[in-house]
Amino acid sequence: MMNNKSFVVAKINFRNIKLAYLLTGITMAAVLVQDIVYFVLANFGINPNGEDGMTVSFGNYLFLFVILSAIFIPSRNFRKMMNLGGKRADFFKGCFVNYAIMAAATSLACVILYYTYERFITAVLYTGGSMDVMHVFGWLDNGVVVAFLRQFAFLFLLATVLHTLTAAQDKWYGWLADVVIVAIISVFTPIAPLRAALVWFFNLIIFHSNAFVQIISCLIIAIAVYSLNKLIFARRVI
C-alpha cells in the first residue's frame, strides 16, 4: 500500500534528477531550433528537407526523460535517500509512483504534441510526414484515448525494466542479466524458432492488434519485474 512517505520519496526523486531534465531539455531545444531555422529558410523559398522530408515526432524525444530518470534514480538517489534516514520500502514504493507519473505525463504530452505541433510542422516543413511511435506501432488504430493508454503501459514497462537493471548492476545477478539479454538478442535472432519467440514477445508488448492484451501484458510484466527490486534494495549496500 502507498503511504504519504512514498509520495514524499517520489517528490524528492523528481527534484533530484536535474541531469535528466537538462539533457532532455537540451535535446528538445536543439530539435526546436532546427525546426525554427528550417521554417525561416522555407519562408525564403529554401527547403532543406526536399519535397519528401520526414522527421521524428517532437514529442517522442520525451522518451529520453523516462529512460534517463529510470537510470539516475536507482543509481544516484538511493544512496542519498538512505543516508538521510529513508527506508528501503518507502524508496521502493516512491519510485513506483515516479514511473507511473512519468509514463502518464509523457504519454499525454506526446499525444498533445502529435495533434498540435506535429500537425503544424509536417504541413509546413516535413511533407513526408513524421515518425511517431503511436503511428508506427499502430497504437492510434483504436483512437487517441487507447493510444494514450498503450503508450503509457509501454513507457511504464520500459521505466521499470531499466530501473531494475540499473539497481542490480553492482551485483552478480545484474551482470548475469546483462549477459542473458545480450545472449537472447544474439542467439535468438539467427535461429528461426527462437526468433519467432522473440517476435511473439515484442508483438505482445508493442504491436499486438488487441489493445487490451498489449496494455495488460505491459502492466503485468512491469509489476513483476519491478517486484524484484524488493530483493535488490533489501540486500544493496548503502
pLDDT averaged per 10 residues in sequence order, the chain, 238 residues: 79 94 96 86 67 78 96 88 82 94 97 90 73 91 95 97 88 70 72 81 93 97 92 66
Rounded Cα–Cα distance for residues 111 and 16 (Å): 27
The number of residues making up the chain comes to 238
Predicted pLDDT at 127 = 67
Q: Which of 6, 34, 110 is nearest to 65 (CA)?
A: 110
Cβ neighbours for 178, distance < 8 A, ≥ 6 positions apart? 165, 169
Helix (H) or strand (E) run with residue 130 in it? strand 130-131
Q: What's the confidence (pLDDT) of residue 70?
A: 96
> What pLDDT score does 110 carry?
95
Prediction pTM value: 0.89
**pLDDT of the residue at 66:** 97
Half-sphere exposure of 195 (CA within 13 A, CB side): 5
Cα within 13 Å of Cα(33), Cβ side:
6
What is the crossing angle of helices 172-188 and 192-202, to 10°? 110
Q: What pLDDT, on a 0 to 100 scale, did the predictor assign at position 186?
A: 75
pLDDT for the residue 4: 79
